[in-house]
C-alpha cells in the first residue's frame, strides 16, 4: 500500500504570529495572573483579551463586514479560478477578512491579468513573486 503523506509545509497556517510591545508594569500584571493560575501563560492571556475585545465589538464588525462586502474566513484562489476570470475578460477585486491564499502554481503574470485589487484584513499567502507582482494592487 503506497500512501502519500501530505507535506505539512504546504498546509496553510491556521494562525499568524504577531509581535507586541508592552510596558513592564502591564507585563508584570500578566505574569502575576499567570502565576496565580488565571491563565496558563502569557499567550493565553493575550488571546483571551483579544477575543473579549472582539466579542465586545461584534455588532460594529458585522456592520462593517456587510458594508464593505468582505468574504470572511479562508478564501483560496486556484490557478484554474484565475484562468477562468482572465478568459472572461474581467478582473477580480478581492476583499477578505481572514486568510486569502493564492495557490503556489499561480504565475505572477496570471495574478496581474486576473486580479484588479486585493484588500485583506488578516493575512495573504502567496508566493513572493506573486506578492511583488500585485504590490501596486494591495490596499
Per residue, what are the HEC states of 88-111?
CCCCEEEEEEEEEEECCCCCHHHH
Domain ranges of the chain: 20-56, 61-137
pLDDT tens sequence across 51-68: 999 999 999 988 988 888
Using 50, 70 and 90 to split pLDDT, how confident is the model at 17? confident
With contact defined as beta carbons under 8 Å apart, do 16 and 123 qualify?
yes
Q: Measure the CA–CA gap between 7 and 103, rounded to whole angstroms.
A: 15
pLDDT tens sequence across 64-110: 888 888 889 999 999 999 999 999 999 999 999 999 999 999 999 99
- Cell digits of residue 10: 504546504
Using 50, 70 and 90 to split pLDDT, how confident is the model at 11? low
Amino acid at each position: 500500500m503506497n500512501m502519500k503523506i501530505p507535506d505539512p509545509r504546504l498546509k496553510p497556517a491556521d494562525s499568524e504570529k504577531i509581535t507586541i510591545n508592552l510596558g513592564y508594569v502591564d507585563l508584570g500584571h500578566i505574569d502575576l495572573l499567570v502565576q496565580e493560575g488565571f491563565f496558563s501563560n502569557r499567550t493565553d492571556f493575550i488571546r483571551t483579551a483579544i477575543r473579549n475585545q472582539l466579542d465586545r465589538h461584534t455588532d460594529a464588525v458585522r456592520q462593517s463586514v456587510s458594508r464593505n462586502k468582505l468574504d470572511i474566513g479562508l478564501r483560496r484562489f486556484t490557478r484554474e479560478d484565475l484562468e477562468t476570470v482572465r478568459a472572461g475578460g474581467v478582473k477580480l477585486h478581492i476583499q477578505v477578512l481572514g486568510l486569502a491564499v493564492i495557490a503556489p502554481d499561480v504565475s505572477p503574470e496570471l495574478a496581474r491579468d486576473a486580479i484588479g485589487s486585493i484588500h485583506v484584513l488578516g493575512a495573504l499567502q502567496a508566493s513572493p513573486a506573486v506578492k511583488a507582482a500585485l504590490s501596486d494592487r494591495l490596499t
